[in-house]
């Protein structure tokens, strides 16, 4: 993972008392389903309330309502976080990946920037599809066809959206130098 250790953070946790009415409404809406906890990317985005609200809606879909099972979604998220060197995103989602059934050896390989030795064909397909986008800015025809055959075109579209969404978060986490979770 590409660490930003030693660089001064640009990230700041927002204090609800310092937010205007629109920012506070969004901040509360994001924190409500999470027992009041607002994830780091949204401390960044709430300063642009419309962006925060839109990102929250897209994120809820990408995280919970795609055609992928949670373990494959989390694998795609970890592949994204690993590519971008987004330690916060990787740390948060490594825990979620474990809960979803992603094997520890896969998480460790991704943390080291390596392709895991998958024992599951679906996991290998999701990873390779994701990695192709990041490494080559495209998906080879054979890989695209395999993903569509296995998951369906709609789910491949949703996977592509998930990768874009988590790349957006990873970029913000990198730009604002959000530290790894404790």
- 76 and 49, same domain (yes or no): no
Alpha-carbon span 69 to 93, nearest angstrom = 15
Give the chain's domain count: 2
- 21 and 59, same domain (yes or no): yes
- 39 and 101, same domain (yes or no): no
For residues 109-120, one letter each, b for 16 or more C-beta atoms within 10 angstroms of the residue's C-beta and e for the rest, the string is bbbeeeebebeb
Listed as ranges, residues in the chain with pLDDT below 70 are: 1-5, 182
Give the predicted TM-score (pTM) of the model.
Answer: 0.92
Contact 133, 163 (CB under 8 A): yes
The phi, psi pair for 89, rounded to 5°, reads -60, -45
The pLDDT value given to residue 8? 84
Residue 6 domain-assigned? no
The pLDDT value given to residue 179? 85
Residue 33 domain-assigned? yes
Residue 79 domain-assigned? yes
The pLDDT value given to residue 127? 99
Structural domain that includes position 59: 16-64
- 58 and 92, same domain (yes or no): no
Select from 110, 167, 89 the least CA-distant residue to 133: 167
The pLDDT value given to residue 1? 52
The pLDDT value given to residue 5? 62
The pLDDT value given to residue 18? 94
């Amino acid at each position: 993972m590409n660490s930003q250790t030693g660089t001064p953070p640009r990230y700041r946790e927002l204090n609800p008392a310092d937010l205007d009415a629109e920012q506070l409404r969004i901040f509360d809406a994001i924190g409500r389903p999470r027992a009041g906890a607002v994830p780091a990317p949204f401390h960044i985005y709430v300063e642009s309330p419309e962006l925060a609200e839109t990102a929250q809606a897209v994120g809820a879909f990408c995280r919970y309502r795609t055609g992928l099972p949670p373990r494959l979604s989390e694998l795609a998220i970890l592949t994204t976080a690993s590519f971008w060197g987004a330690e916060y995103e990787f740390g948060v989602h490594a825990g979620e990946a474990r809960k979803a059934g992603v094997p520890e050896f896969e998480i460790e390989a991704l943390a080291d920037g390596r392709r895991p030795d998958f024992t599951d064909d679906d996991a290998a397909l999701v990873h390779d599809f994701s990695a192709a986008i990041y490494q080559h800015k495209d998906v080879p025809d054979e890989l695209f066809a395999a993903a569509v055959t296995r998951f369906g075109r709609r789910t491949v579209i949703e996977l592509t959206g998930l990768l874009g969404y988590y790349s957006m978060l990873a970029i913000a986490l990198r730009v604002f130098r959000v530290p790894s979770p404790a």
